């Protein structure tokens, strides 16, 4: 085999090895997801918080399980402008705002994966819409078991 062939085979082997290692890291990450609908938002300036936490099908997370990433999204059927923030622990935070319909963040990395995480919704302007407005939300939390 020529030197160029050995280099390409070696580089290909290295790339394949790196892809396998990355796949192993992803396989080690676990996740839980919850979908919920808020209570109806009735008034401007009155926040509605929805709590998200792992359920029984998630096998009970140990206290050592730590967040490695979070995705949250929301949707609603109204002309109202609603501000939403994703918070860890309580509605007081720490929190990150959703810009548009979703957020993917590492702001909570290292915190307990059992949460809770909250989506906190607040009407900024009715914009021709009217109460009540129900917000559908989804939160996905990726975590490691904290055993390393």
The sign of the CA dihedral 86, 87, 90, 91 is negative
Separation in Å, CA 23 to CA 27, 78, 81: 6, 41, 40
Tens of pLDDT, residues 32-71:
999 999 999 999 989 999 999 998 887 778 889 999 999 9
User: What distance in Å separates the CA atoms of residue 126 and residue 52, rounded to the nearest whole number?
Assistant: 26
Tens of pLDDT, residues 95-109:
999 999 999 999 999
User: What distance in Å separates the CA atoms of residue 64 and residue 145, rounded to the nearest whole number?
Assistant: 6
């Amino acid at each position: 085999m020529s030197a160029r062939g050995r280099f390409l085979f070696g580089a290909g082997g290295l790339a394949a090895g790196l892809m396998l290692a990355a796949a192993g890291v992803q396989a080690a990450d676990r996740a839980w997801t919850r979908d919920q609908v808020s209570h109806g938002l009735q008034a401007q300036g009155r926040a509605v918080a929805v709590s998200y936490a792992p359920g029984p099908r998630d096998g009970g997370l140990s206290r050592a399980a730590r967040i490695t990433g979070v995705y949250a999204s929301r949707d609603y059927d109204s002309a109202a402008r609603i501000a939403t923030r994703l918070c860890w622990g309580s509605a007081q935070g720490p929190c990150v705002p959703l810009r548009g319909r979703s957020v993917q963040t590492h702001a909570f990395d290292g915190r307990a994966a059992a949460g809770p995480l909250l989506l906190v919704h607040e009407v900024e302007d009715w914009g021709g819409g009217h109460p009540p407005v129900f917000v559908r939300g989804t939160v996905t939390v990726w975590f490691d078991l904290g055993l390393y």
